[in-house]
Amino acid sequence: MSPYAPRPAAAACLVLLIAGACPVGAARAEDSVRIAVSLQDHRFDPAEIHVPAGKPAILVVTNQDSTAEEFDSSALKVEKIVAAGHYAIIRLRPLSPGRYPFAGEFNATTATGVVVAE
């Protein structure tokens, strides 16, 4: 067997993953909470985002401003540029209960918020 040839088990999982039937991929997608967040006038909406503690979450941040912004949080270990008129996907690991502040680094006085895991 060539070292570049897919192994039978890996090939089968790849086929299942593409088909959407791989248990690992499906479980992760079902467990994630997806939350829409907009950025307009250099403010996040909602500014307080509630997520279930212990579960992964996905933030879909849409920047409606005419300038780029950086979603920045040392507490969440995230830095992500969101181009003007575009969106970014921010994946949050499962969080312990608590409050995790974030800000728009380019407009830190107005673009502020917090993720609340409960």
- Interatomic CA distance for residues 20 and 13, integer angstroms: 10
68-92 in b/e form (b: 16+ CB < 10 A) is: ebbbbbeebebeeebeeeebbebeb
**Structural domain of residue 101, as residue ranges?**
32-117
Per the prediction, the chain carries an average pLDDT of: 85
Give 43's strand partners.
40
Considering the domain architecture, whether residues 75 and 88 belong to the same structural domain is answered as yes
pTM confidence score: 0.73
User: Per-residue confidence at 25, pLDDT binned at 50, 70, 90?
Assistant: very low
Residues 53 and 70 in one domain: yes
How does pLDDT run across 27-78, given as a tens digit for each residue? Answer: 455 578 999 999 999 999 999 999 999 999 999 999 999 999 999 999 999 9
One domain, residues 63 and 102: yes
